[in-house]
Amino acid sequence: MRFHLIDRIDEFEPGKHLRGRKLVSGSEEFWDDVPGGPAMPAPLVLEALCQAGTWLIMLSTDRRKRAALLQVGNVRFSGDVRPGDVLVLDGVVESMSDEMAVLSGSATVDGTPVMQATDIMCALIDADDLEDPEDSERMLRVLTRS
């Protein structure tokens, strides 16, 4: 699968918070078979929030840094995410230095929380070690429709 689990950035404030969306579709390939039908695997719901977090770090560091996951203090999954759902991702920076950031956040569907995570600790690493900056910039334009 293409590991890109956020489709839009709807609003953000550098160093503070970001709200984004991931569209969930039956045309994706990752389903769990649970009561009530296929559901998005819980770890991918967490990843969608982490990717919202990494874009927030990019937008907060003038594109220089990305977040690499070091620790998740707590994550709780409280509802199923189904084909056709729109996952709304809210990421919040709890603290941030040049080298580390601590984030928290939630994912909701139609206003109902499906996941909450706290104490997500990330190392901030040079973004161009991971991906061509031009590709990141192109992706950011798609995410923000700018």
Partner 1 sequence: MIHATVPSTTTTGQLISLDRILVVEPGRRAEAVCNVPGTLAIFDSHFPRFPVLPGVIILGSLAKLAALLLHESTQQEWRLAEAQSVRFRRFVQPGDVMELLVELTEHDVGQAVCKASASVDGKRVTTIGRLLLVNDLAGAT
Binding site for partner 1 (CB under 8 A): 1-4, 30-35, 41-44, 46-47, 50, 69-80, 128-132, 135
- State the nearest-atom distance from the C-beta of 39 to partner 1, in Å: 9
Q: Which is nearer to partner 1, 23 or 70 (CB)?
A: 70
Q: Please tell me the distance from the alpha carbon of residue 51 to that of residue 139, in angstroms, as a whole number.
A: 13
- State the nearest-atom distance from the C-beta of 73 to partner 1, in Å: 7
Q: Which is nearer to partner 1, 13 or 122 (CB)?
A: 122
For 68-136, give the DSSP string: EEEEEEEEEE-S---TT-EEEEEEEEEEE-SSEEEEEEEEEETTEEEEEEEEEEEEEEEGGGTS-HHHH
Q: Please tell me the distance from the alpha carbon of residue 108 to that of residue 1, in angstroms, as a whole number.
A: 23
Q: Which is nearer to partner 1, 11 or 143 (CB)?
A: 143
Q: Which is nearer to partner 1, 13 or 119 (CB)?
A: 119
- State the nearest-atom distance from the C-beta of 66 to partner 1, in Å: 8
- State the nearest-atom distance from the C-beta of 13 to partner 1, in Å: 26
